[in-house]
Chain A
Amino acid sequence: MSAYKFDNAVKGEFATSEGLVEFEYPAGEVMPKGDEDALAFCLSAGVASIVESKPSSKKSEPVAVADVTTEEN
């Protein structure tokens, strides 16, 4: 599943026929949670980009050393 990456914290809104849609995202990666329209707006506005989400690091799953190193860095 793709995540949305925000280089900077973003706050804003856009108008729809149902009214104003407000959004606020911190810097970093954001997974869609029913707010696809807001994320799509951020994407089209150029304030977000799509990145491939990283797999969750559950203990039962093997975690590549390189990935751990990357996350620590």
Chain B
Amino acid sequence: MAVQSALALVGAAKQSVKGTAGTTATFGHGLTDGAIMTVEVDQSIEEHTSGTRASGDVNRTAITAGVDFTCRAHPKSIGLWSYGALGGIASTGAGPYTHTITLGSDLPYLTTFGTLAGNYFKVQDVKVDSLAYKWNANDPLEVSVAGMGTQLAILASNYTTTNDESNAVYFTPVGGTFSVDVDGASGTAATAKINGGEVSIANNADSVMVSGTIYPDDIVVGRQEVECSFDVTPDDLNLWRTIVTGTSAATSVSSAVLYGTFSMAFSNGTNTLTLAATRVAFTCDFPDADPAGGTITLSLAGLAVSNAGATPLTVTLVNSQASY
């Protein structure tokens, strides 16, 4: 009997400390792409000479497990994934709750869970290496998560999921608000005709291998890099002109970097998810001409950096989850 690929779920739980895996998944949901977990086996041919022209051995040096999948942004679990990618969270309210997720000096360890057609797995000490929020027009928001962990465990039975979000409730651009300001002159991002975009977080994670153990001893993160790209249908070329010259009225190029802002708010009923940055250096290619005609699209690309020591990206989540 074949293994059914549609019977796939992932889950996650925050660990209080490294080395102690969670026993139940705090959140769980389905996938739109990718795998419920990744297992990378490092092994290569033994490099020594012998009496034959072929090597007779292969060395296995590491097994690194983790996650690498794409999913919808579900109202509760997106908070844990975002916290896992940024490293800090502050929650207020008495229901609905507002979670402000920002840069931490490190990342929390997660235990990730996965099920595939009656097979159950978990990986402990996972740190989120990268996370990207991506959308096109009014298509549902898509989230790509990649993380690295230490030990893989193949479970004898299914795990419990406290908050099961596999029932297809997720954030979409419909009803949201999308704003961008390439020079920060107005102090706040202005609403723009955004056709789609992506906001990505890269933590430059790497595994620490120590002699004697086949799986990583730890996962460490490097500098956090936040990038964004937005496709905009402009009324004029002022966005491009401002980026290149410094103002919408200037006539020569500027040597100074302009820092702007963006705010992208998604909706799901009373739940909202807002991605915002206040120090973003944008670039923009000059738009192509098209013999077939039609409106131009400006593709803004930005690097979001720390603003006077503050977080480069703020994820604000309003939902019914009290805490993470």
Chain A residues close to B by CB (< 8 Å): 8-17, 19-20, 41-42, 44-47
Contact = CB atoms under 8 A, between A and B. Distances in A.
A45 B92 contact: no
A44 B102 CA distance: 8
A44 B103 contact: yes
Contact of A14 (B87, B91, B323): B87
Interface string B1-30: 000000000000000111000000000000
For chain B, the bracket of interface size reads 20 to 34
A9 B98 CA distance: 11
B309 interface: yes
Contacts of A47: 90, 92, 100
A35 to B, nearest CB: 14
Contacts of A42: 90
A15 B107 contact: yes
B89 A13 contact: yes
Contact of A15 (B93, B108, B311, B323): B108
Given A20-B16, A44-B311, A12 B107 contact: no
Given A12-B90, A12-B100, A15-B87, 16 more contacts: A9-B92, A10-B91, A11-B90, A11-B323, A12-B88, A12-B91, A13-B108, A14-B88, A15-B106, A15-B108, A45-B88, A45-B100, A45-B102, A45-B314, A46-B102, A47-B92
Contacts of B105: 14-17
B310 interface: yes
A19 B105 CA distance: 10
A44 B91 CA distance: 14
Contact of A44 (B106, B108, B310): B310
B104 A14 contact: yes
Nearest to B127: A15
A15 B100 CA distance: 14
B119 to A, nearest CB: 31
B90 A10 contact: yes
Contacts of B92: 8-11, 47
Contacts of A12: 88-91, 100, 323
